[in-house]
Amino acid sequence: MGVSGWLESLTQYDSQKYIRLQSVTWGWVKCFLSLTVALSICCIVIIYRLHQEMDEVNSSVRTSVKGVAYKDNRIWDTAEYTIPMQAVNSFFVMTNIIKTENQLEQRCPEYPFAKAICSSDKSCEKGSVDIHSHGIQTGKCVDYNTTVKTCEVMAWCPVEPMENPPDPAVLRSSEDFTVLIKNNIHFPKFNYTILNIPQKLNTSCTYNKITSPLCPIFRLGDILQEAKENFSEMAVKGGIIAIEINWDCNLDSWSYDCHPKYGFRRLDDKRINPGFHFRYARYYKLPYGKEQRTLFKVYGIRFDVLVFGTGRKFNSIELLKNIGSMLSYFGLVATAIEFAICIGNCSGCCTSPLYQIYNRKKYETVLNPRQVMYVSYVDEPHITLIKEPLKKSLQRAQGSIVESHSVKFGDAGGCCTSEYSENDSNEESEAMHTPYNHDNEEYELGQPLRQGASSPDCPEWCCCGTCQPTQKYHEQLCCRKKKGQCITTSHWFQQLVLSSHTLNKALLYKDPFLDLTDSSINTQLRHLAYKQYIHWRFGSFDLEDRAVIPSCCRWKIRDTYPKAVNNYTGFETE
Ligand code: ZN
Ligand code: ZN
């Protein structure tokens, strides 16, 4: 499209054209499907809450663990067993411990792990450090106990024994400890804040999934039970447990619902190296100034509080936006019906005339005018389409049927025919407008009533005996397919195509002040006669200038309305 085409498009609006199928069945199918889509859209909007605006939760968590245990002649209170964690929203409860008391910085034998065991000083390298060792080797091999010798190290001595944690766990009674979780959440979009503690909280409550699901005080044993873990088993080596707080808040006043839902699961892998432990030490100064420490290797359960969730509130713009995006689903109705009709047509089960007419109306074939020609034979009831290039005479070329005569005849009611009818008998006038009579005419002409008188120079492709020889393939066309009478001898050819009376009237109809005595009038009459023939035999259609006039008819018209110099343009093939 050039600039002018683009500018022209600014002054136009293209509206879509539809084909209306008059069918009760499809009408009901359309209604049913449209209703289904409308209902589905409503359901989707409600179920997925597309009428609401969404906001992510912002939260802060505080925890406090309570409980006291008495074990190994010692009181274990909160300060003993809850060790502050570096991570945010986490708390740790000790369940097991390995204590190494009175450690001093000095020389002592290494704990007897595989690489530390020696037989003589040669096995020990001065200054070397193993990944498992507790200190730096001095190069000496000394007795660890009466049976084993190990390399001597410079370390915090005595070294920590590398053994498994006590089983059952030292503080397994921490199962009965409780934790209060305070969770404050905020939805910035809606400026809404809420706490996970209900207004009327019974301070002696304990969380239970069924009986008190909103109580924020949790018994540690219950948490592990919910996470499907055994407390006394997990207490030995420790582990990590997630406490999930899920907020799914509907903040609309008419359907307000904003409560936390608690969930619990184990985070550390049970199969590969399970557990959770770390070390810490307490330091003392001895009277003579040396530092001494007590080393603790503590096992326990780390609880990570994970808060997530969304808040929703009605928003008309959100609703419009989502419904707008779903309106395209109505297109599915049309697609589904088209598909069903297509299947009905293709499978051949629907041979009703409705589908045939529907198909004809729906699909218009666009042909390249330079590559096609239309021919009509008086003894065949249809128009034939022939594709170029021609390898032999047009008369012998294979083509495809495109249209039946009854259709084209309906279009043929031009000015000239109606004028003609005024002057002629009523009987013939009706004949022009009634397709059945037209068929009769075809029948008459289609009959080989008598053999056409073959002229001596009649070409072999001619069947009517009046065509003229020519070298051009596209001009080698007769008015008939089988031998018989020529169409030019028919009454209708005389009256519709050749009659100067008809043609003159048609010219005057177009130009009322036309001078019929003008010298160029023959040319105009000739061209009009060609046109008349095409309208008569083909009707009016898009590619009427690609309709080929048979040789016999062309010569008859030329003879009746000759040109001054005998040089005709003929059918242009391009
Ligand atoms: Zn012929
Ligand atoms: Zn003929």
CA of 285 to the centre of ligand 1 (A): 132
pLDDT at 452 over 50: no
pLDDT tens digits for 488-500? 999 999 999 999 8
CA of 469 to the centre of ligand 1 (A): 10
CB of 292 closer than 8 Å to CB of 102? yes
Mean pLDDT calculated for residue range 84-102: 86
Between 198 and 556, the higher pLDDT residue = 556
Distance CA 175, CA 172 (A): 6
Residue partners of 527: CB distance under 8 A and separation at least 6: none
For residue 250, which of 324, 190, 326, 305 has the smallest C-alpha distance?
190
Give one word for 254, left, alpha or beta, with left for phi > 0 and alpha for psi -120 to 50: alpha
Residue 261's pLDDT is: 94
SS3 call for 21: coil
CA of 494 to the centre of ligand 2 (A): 13
Task: Please report, for residues 160, 421, 448, 484, 535, the alpha-carbon distance to residue 444 in angstroms, rounded to integers and kept in the order given.
Answer: 123, 21, 9, 11, 20
Mean pLDDT calculated for residue range 511-523: 86
Whether residues 377 and 330 share a domain: the answer is no
pLDDT at 86 over 70: yes
pLDDT tens digits for 1-52? 688 889 888 888 989 888 888 889 889 999 999 999 999 999 999 999 999 9
Whether residues 217 and 74 share a domain: the answer is yes
Task: Please report, for residues 369, 489, 524, the alpha-carbon distance to residue 454 in angstroms, rounded to integers and kept in the order given.
Answer: 35, 14, 31
Mean pLDDT calculated for residue range 164-183: 89
Confidence tier at 180 by pLDDT (50, 70, 90): very high
Confidence tier at 446 by pLDDT (50, 70, 90): very low
Residue 571's pLDDT is: 58
The structural domain count of the chain equals 4
Residue 154 sits at φ, ψ, to 5 deg, of -90, 110
Q: Which ligand is nearest to the CA of 533?
A: 2
Distance CA 182, CA 259 (A): 13
Whether residues 425 and 515 share a domain: the answer is yes
Whether residues 440 and 554 share a domain: the answer is yes
Residue partners of 371: CB distance under 8 A and separation at least 6: 387, 388
pLDDT at 301 over 50: yes
CA of 511 to the centre of ligand 1 (A): 35
- Considering the chain, what is the average pLDDT of its residues? 83
CB of 187 closer than 8 Å to CB of 311? yes
Task: Please report, for residues 140, 183, 334, the alpha-carbon distance to residue 308 in angstroms, rounded to integers and kept in the order given.
Answer: 58, 11, 43
CA of 465 to the centre of ligand 1 (A): 5
SS3 call for 472: coil
CA of 236 to the centre of ligand 2 (A): 112
Whether residues 550 and 512 share a domain: the answer is yes
CA of 463 to the centre of ligand 1 (A): 5
CA of 343 to the centre of ligand 1 (A): 45
Lowest mean pLDDT among 278-287, 395-404, 421-430, 565-574: 421-430
Name beta bridge partners: 423: none
CA of 555 to the centre of ligand 1 (A): 11
List the CATH number of the domain containing 225: 2.60.490.10
Residue 357's pLDDT is: 78
Whether residues 97 and 180 share a domain: the answer is yes
Distance CA 530, CA 497 (A): 7
Residue 369's pLDDT is: 76
For residue 96, count CB atoms less than 10 angstroms from its CB and return exposed for 0-12, middle for 13-18, buried for 19 or more: buried
CA of 489 to the centre of ligand 1 (A): 12
Whether residues 340 and 415 share a domain: the answer is no
Task: Please report, for residues 102, 109, 412, the alpha-carbon distance to residue 145 in angstroms, rounded to integers and kept in the order given.
Answer: 19, 9, 124
Distance CA 135, CA 106 (A): 10
Whether residues 39 and 68 share a domain: the answer is no
Torsion sign, CA atoms 356, 357, 362, 368: positive
CA of 409 to the centre of ligand 2 (A): 20
Give the pTM.
0.60
Whether residues 257 and 300 share a domain: the answer is yes
pLDDT tens digits for 278-297? 998 999 998 888 899 999 99
CA of 488 to the centre of ligand 2 (A): 6
pLDDT at 132 over 90: no
Residue 572 lies in a domain: no
pLDDT at 392 over 90: no
Residue partners of 479: CB distance under 8 A and separation at least 6: 377, 378, 463, 464, 486, 487, 488, 550, 552, 553
CA of 393 to the centre of ligand 1 (A): 13
For residue 490, which of 470, 466, 474 has the smallest C-alpha distance?
466
Distance CA 239, CA 338 (A): 62
435-446 helix and 426-433 helix, angle to the nearest 10 degrees: 90
Mean pLDDT calculated for residue range 449-474: 75
Q: Which ligand is nearest to the CA of 445?
A: 2
Residue 215 lies in a domain: yes
**Which of the residue ranges 79-93, 119-133, 391-405, 467-481 has the most confident prediction, judged by mean pLDDT?**
467-481
CB of 302 closer than 8 Å to CB of 90? yes
Lowest mean pLDDT among 328-337, 358-367, 482-491: 358-367
Confidence tier at 412 by pLDDT (50, 70, 90): very low
Residue 411 lies in a domain: yes
Give one word for 465, left, alpha or beta, with left for phi > 0 and alpha for psi -120 to 50: left
Q: Which ligand is nearest to the CA of 486?
A: 2
CB of 544 closer than 8 Å to CB of 408? no
pLDDT at 186 over 60: yes
**Stated length of the chain:** 574
Q: Which ligand is nearest to the CA of 490?
A: 2
CB of 480 closer than 8 Å to CB of 464? yes
Mean pLDDT calculated for residue range 355-377: 81
CA of 480 to the centre of ligand 1 (A): 7
> Could you report how far apart the first and last alpha carbons of the chain are, in Å?
25
Whether residues 345 and 439 share a domain: the answer is no
Whether residues 89 and 231 share a domain: the answer is yes
Lowest mean pLDDT among 258-262, 268-272, 540-544: 540-544
Residue matched to tokens 């209703």: 35
pLDDT at 449 over 50: no
Which structural domain range is residue 28 located in?
19-51+317-362
CA of 387 to the centre of ligand 2 (A): 23
pLDDT at 241 over 60: yes
Residue partners of 197: CB distance under 8 A and separation at least 6: 182, 216
Residue 566's pLDDT is: 54
CA of 479 to the centre of ligand 1 (A): 6
Confidence tier at 348 by pLDDT (50, 70, 90): low
CB of 243 closer than 8 Å to CB of 223? yes
Residue 349's pLDDT is: 59
Whether residues 169 and 228 share a domain: the answer is yes
pLDDT at 419 over 90: no
Confidence tier at 455 by pLDDT (50, 70, 90): low
Distance CA 134, CA 458 (A): 122
Q: What one-character DSSP code corresponds to residue 367? A: -
